[in-house]
Every structure is written in structure tokens, then in C-alpha cells.
Amino acid sequence: MPRLADGFVSELKDRIDLYDLISRYVQLKKSGSSWVGLSPFNQEKTPSFYVHPQKGFFNCFSSGEKGDGITFIQKMENLEFYEAIEYLSREFNIPLRFQEGSSHHQSGSQSLRKGLFEIHEVTKNWFREQFKKNETDNRKALEYWIKERGFSEDDAAEFGVGFAPVDRFVLGNYLSRKGFPEVLLEKSGLFYSRKGNKNWVSIFCGRLMIPIREKLGRICGFTGRKLLVTPEWGDKKAPKYINSPETPIFSKGQLLFNFHLANKEINEQKDFILVEGQLDAIRCYLKGFKTAVAPQGTAFKQSQAELLRKANPRRVVCLLDGDEAGQKAAMSYVPIFLQTGLDAHFATLPEGSDPDQILVKQGKDALSEIIQQGQPAINYVCSKMLGKTPTPLEKRRASDFFFPSLADMESLVMRDSYLNELSRVLEISPQSVKTDFQKFIKTRRPAYQQKSATTSTEKISVSGTERLTTAEDDLLYCLLHDVRLGNSLAQVIEPSWLDTKVIAGHILAKLLAEITADGPLNVPEMEELLEDDQERFLFQNLLYQNSDDETDLVDLANQCISAFVKRSSRKTEKKLLHAMQDESSNSSELRIKLKEIRSSQTNPPQILETELESSY
């Protein structure tokens, strides 16, 4: 991958309009010199997400997330660092700059992910060409699309629908002629493993091809729908649908079909419409239901629900097929929506029908009426679990269904609201439902609570904000908030004192080594030395941690130095005591060393305020 020019990342951040970037995702209101809105990372009713364009960072008090524009787009769009750089440079029309001798064209190896997106775009265009060819097999795909499904050629063009020829070698030959390297063909998910064969064998043969796009609109995979010309071997029936396998850019659990378009239409007053299949989503979109999305099959994961939640809709309306499989899927969705904090309604479709058929045969009003009749999650589940005259056992089973999800819910307000709703639907007093729920809580402790219980004692408060109290974290915090400390720290701290297994320790080791070699660093220069997203997220979390005049950074840095010395001394002391047990050792010499070690613990090196004025 070509290396970005020195200073380009800082230049990019300076030129980005942070308000313009974040307001695409969050509705912001003016608050003094800053802007405030609802957290895009947590479900909340009171705004706690602050954007400071003049200072160049955001701070989300409800989730603890903070950082600059690059960090924000990484978290919102699930991008790697260099993908976020490319995205922002494109969005704000800031050309990428690379170091001399690092050609942009050398990045046919630029990144595997970028190459995979490119090969999928080229493949989509090729499938489109096959779709329009006037040949026997190709016409079958067009006939299915227009005559059987009732779509138009313009609809196919809008969604990139195409045709994969029956010949299983032709796509591989085409892409090879286009110059795509073998590593991309191998990792693309378009072909079976060659296992020594000369030709690339396509996974998709004789199928209607529907491109799947990730949230930025880039094609990352395909769904192939069976046609009359789809090859079958022997008694083995070809599946009705096949999807791309998991690849570096295609992960079924991280994608929702049509999300890239639906996300542009959603706001706090609109609902996502969750349908089962891609063709359902396409039909809904074309008929005016612009917020329709679909998972890849009936399976639905919490990561997909998180995609919906981050878009901040009013609710999600599930329009699943009215058959037994659709109802079973709906029941599995309820705990996911509850745990994610999404308000979900469930609309029951007539058995044997789907949204596509309803829109074609009965029209838009018919589907709108079904959506309007959707039930809240608790009502829907109880309607499936309770008989006409519910027995006490049925009511207990219904409450048992909800308790695990409600126990994992972060918002106590939402939890209490759901418990009240459950008591109303079951016709049981709220006190009884909440008493049973508390009994459930006592006998079952969620994993996230266990984790927080073990780490809560490891937190301290610096200027009212909690942070982990590793000495490395605290010292990095000091350095980022007063870069004048750099020279003194580099002279005082022994590299062996740092625990480089923790992220802050690894960062400190690099920064202090660089300062020792080349002199003081400012914050942008420090940031250039970071190697991965874990380092960048911690760096920015500490950089944008609230700091005020009450925090004595020199004193805090000296506390960290003392902690390093004590930790290092204890390790050395332990080794010396172990060595003294050896009869062949020189015990008198070891005692002298032990005395020196113990003395150093009480007299660690310290930094003086006066040193800082002349050190930078």
C-alpha cells in the first residue's frame, strides 16, 4: 500500500467540516460554540452527543466514544483507517497525497478490499451485458424478470440486475483478460477453489444475478436466483438462491440488502420496513416504500439490528412471510430488537403471500394497511404464545420469553416501559411482573454485568471522566495534553519500565524512542506514528478526554513514573530474593543490590515544572 504523504492526515482533518460530516448522521442543534444531538452509538432520549467543529472533535457522553472526523466515519461506516481516509477525501474533494516514490498505481496491491470492490463492480457490469444479449439462455433471464416477476428493464438497470451465463469458465476467463491478479480472483467469492485446475470455475451459473451493496453503496457480493437454464447435475437439485460466500468484504451478518438507499430516506419520523427477500425489497422501494431492507435470508443478527439502530429510525416494521418459517423468524427477531433498543412492530402477511405479490396484485394501499395493523413486539409474541383464554402456565412462558432480553437491556427506562406493557397484555399487575423479573435477575447475571463488576474498581476519575488507571494510559494522557513533557520523559523513563503488552505502553515506547532520537514531537507528529485502529482509538480517546486547570499534569506524570519504578523494582526484587536462595550465589553482593533496589522505590526520578520551559 502506498504511504500517505507526511502531514496529509492532519491536513485532511483541518479541511473537513466536522459539522457537515456528522450532521449527515445526527440531527444537531446549536449549543454555544458547539452542537448537540442524540447519540448515534446509543439509544437515548436526552441529547448527550456533542460536536466541537472549531476544536475538531466529537464527544459522546452516553457511550464514551470520542475522536475526530476520521474516527467518527470509521465507527459509523465500519471502515478501516485507510478506507476512512479514502472516503473522506472523496466526500470533501481533497485529493490523496502520497510520499515521493510511492506510486498510487502500485496499489493494484493498494488494499485487498479495494481490489475486491473493483472486481465486483466490473463483474456486475459484465452480468448486465449478458442480461441484455439476445441469446437463448440470456433471454430466459429477461423473460423471468419481466414476465414472471413483473419488473421492467429500467428496474433491472437501477438495481444492477444481470445474468450469469451457464458456461462456468467464461467469467474467470473474462476477468483474467482484464488483468485482475489471481489473489483477487481467489479471494473474490466468485469462484470455487481451483485445487490445481487451470480454469476458474464460477459459483454462479445460469442464474439471475442481484448485486448486494454495503452501506456505502459498493458492491460486495451477489445473490443468484435459480432459472430454467440453471445447470443441475444428476439427482442433485440446484438451490433456489445462492449467495456469495464469506469474503474480506462480504459478511452476511454485517449487511442488509438496500440499506445504502433506505438509509438516505430514514429519519426520526420514519420506519424501516424489514422484508424477507431482495426482490421484496426492490418491489417495495420501487412502489414508494423507500426504507425497505432485507437480511440475506430469514436469519437476522444483532449486528444487522445495530445498522438499523445507528440510523435512528422511529421504529422497524417487520413484514415477514405469513408461513410457519416467517413466523418462526419473527419470534427470533424479537430478542434482538429488544437487546438493541429498537422499537419493533410485526405485521402479519396472509399465508402464502409476500410483499412483492401483495404490491403487484393488490397495490400500494393494501400493503400500507397491513403495515398500519402491525403489532408491537410484546403484543405480537403474546398473540402467538397465548390461547384465547390464557392459562397461568402460558402467561409464565410468555414472561419467561421476554425476561432474558430485558435483563440485557441497558436503558432502565425502556426496560420498565416494556415490563409495564407486558403486565398490561398479560393482565397481571405490574408489581407481580416486576417481582418475578427481579427474581430472574438474581438467579441469572448477564455477562456484561459480570465484566463491569470486575473492572469497575480499576477506574479513577480525572476531571470528572472515568478512565482505566494503568500508569501507561495516564502517562500518555499527560503527554498528549502537554507535549513539553516529552523530552523529560524520554530522559527519565527506562524503556523496560513500560508494559508494551498494553496499547498505551506500546504507543509510549514508540513516542519516547522517537523523541530520544529526533527531539520533541507535536500531537500530529505523534499521530503519524500510530500503526492500527486500536492505537488510533485509544490515542484519540485520551487526546479528547476532558482536561481543566485542576489537573496537575506534571504531578500526575510523576505519579506514573513512581508507579513504573515500583513495578520494575518489585520484579527485580523478586528475582534477587529467588537468587539468594541459591547456596552458590554471592549473597552479600545480592543484598547490596537488593538494598539499592528498595532505596530506588522511595526515591524515584521526578520531573520539575521548570524543566518544561526549556525543553520544547
CATH number, domain containing residue 35: 3.90.580.10
Q: What is the mean pLDDT of residues 197-210?
A: 93
Query: Are 232 and 280 in the same domain?
Result: no
- Dig out the grid coordinates for 211 from the structure: 448485486
* 219-223, 316-320, 569-573: segment of lowest average pLDDT: 569-573
H/E stretch holding 223 reads strand 219-226
Strands of the sheet with 57-60, listed across from one edge:
29-31, 34-37, 49-52, 57-60, 66-67
Beta carbons of 13 and 32 less than 8 angstroms apart: no
Residue ending a domain, among 363, 385, 407, is 385
Q: What is the mean pLDDT of residues 407-435?
A: 91
Query: Are 327 and 398 in the same domain?
Result: no
Query: Which domain does 102 fall in, by range?
Result: 8-107
Beta carbons of 244 and 190 less than 8 angstroms apart: yes
Indicate if the pLDDT at residue 584 is higher than 70: no
Indicate if the pLDDT at residue 109 is higher than 70: no
For the stretch 449-488, pLDDT in tens is 343 333 333 333 333 344 446 889 999 999 999 999 999 9
Residue that wins the pLDDT comparison between 3 and 159: 159
Query: Are 270 and 307 in the same domain?
Result: yes
Q: What is the mean pLDDT of residues 159-166?
A: 97
Residue 582: per-residue pLDDT: 66
Three-state DSSP class for residue 391: coil
Query: Are 44 and 147 in the same domain?
Result: no
Indicate if the pLDDT at residue 445 is higher than 60: no
Residue 463: inside a domain: yes
Residue 380: inside a domain: yes
User: Cβ contacts of residue 592 below 8 Å, gap of 6+?
Assistant: none
Residue 451: inside a domain: no
290-293: which pairs have CB atoms within 8 A and are 24 or more residues apart?
Answer: 290/261, 290/262, 290/265, 291/262, 291/265, 291/266, 292/258, 292/262, 292/355, 293/256, 293/257, 293/258, 293/259, 293/262
Residue 16 dihedral angles phi and psi, to the nearest 5°: -75, 130
Find the largest Cα–Cα distance for the chain: 97
Query: Are 212 and 271 in the same domain?
Result: no
Residue with cell 410468555: 398
Residue 498 dihedral angles phi and psi, to the nearest 5°: -80, 140
Task: Place 382 in a pLDDT band, splitting at 50, 70 and 90.
Answer: very high
Characterise 545 by phi-psi region: left (phi > 0), alpha (psi -120 to 50), beta (else).
Answer: beta
Residue ending a domain, among 107, 138, 162, is 107
Residue 166 dihedral angles phi and psi, to the nearest 5°: -65, -35
For the stretch 76-99, pLDDT in tens is 877 778 888 988 988 888 888 877
Residue 458: per-residue pLDDT: 35
Residue 369: inside a domain: yes
- Number of domain units in the chain: 5
Residue 193: per-residue pLDDT: 87
Residue 306: per-residue pLDDT: 87
Beta carbons of 80 and 73 less than 8 angstroms apart: no
Q: Are strands 459-462 and 375-376 parallel, antiparallel or unpaired?
A: unpaired
Residue 55: per-residue pLDDT: 86
Residue that wins the pLDDT comparison between 110 and 89: 89
Residue 104: per-residue pLDDT: 45
Residue with cell 453503496: 217
- Dig out the grid coordinates for 269 from the structure: 419520523
* 62 HSE (CA, 13 A, CB side): 17
Residue 456: per-residue pLDDT: 32
Query: Are 359 and 330 in the same domain?
Result: yes
Indicate if the pLDDT at residue 122 is higher than 80: yes
Residue 468: per-residue pLDDT: 45
Neighbours of 234 (CB within 10 A): 5
Residue 108: per-residue pLDDT: 39
CATH number, domain containing residue 423: 1.20.50
For the stretch 265-310, pLDDT in tens is 888 789 999 998 999 999 999 999 999 999 976 688 888 998 898 8
Q: What is the mean pLDDT of residues 195-199?
A: 80
Indicate if the pLDDT at residue 316 is higher than 60: yes
SS (H, E, C) 160-203: CCEEECCCCCHHHHHHHHCCCCHHHHHHCCCECCCCCCCCCCEC
Residue 405: inside a domain: yes
Neighbours of 438 (CB within 10 A): 9
Please tell me the pTM assigned to this model. 0.66
Indicate if the pLDDT at residue 72 is higher than 90: yes
Residue 437: per-residue pLDDT: 93
Beta carbons of 441 and 405 less than 8 angstroms apart: no
Residue that wins the pLDDT comparison between 466 and 360: 360
Q: 63 vs 13, 16, 272, 460, 611, CA distance in Å?
A: 23, 24, 24, 17, 38
Q: For residues 183 and 193, give the distance between their C-alpha atoms in angstroms, rounded to a whole number.
A: 12
Strands of the sheet with 162-164, listed across from one edge:
162-164, 207-213, 219-226, 241-243
Residue 453: inside a domain: no
- Dig out the grid coordinates for 231 from the structure: 445447470
What percent of the chain is modeled with pLDDT above 90?
46
Query: Are 333 and 227 in the same domain?
Result: no
Query: Are 97 and 232 in the same domain?
Result: no
Query: Are 314 and 438 in the same domain?
Result: no
Q: What is the mean pLDDT of residues 383-401?
A: 92
Task: Place 551 in a pLDDT band, splitting at 50, 70 and 90.
Answer: low
Please give the sequence-ordered ranges of beta strands (E in DSSP) within 444-533, or none if there are none: 459-462, 465-468
Residue 450: inside a domain: no
Query: Are 225 and 321 in the same domain?
Result: no
- Dig out the grid coordinates for 26 from the structure: 445526527
Short-list 555, 514, 510, 515, CA closest to 535? 510
Q: What is the mean pLDDT of residues 193-198?
A: 80
Beta carbons of 543 and 480 less than 8 angstroms apart: yes
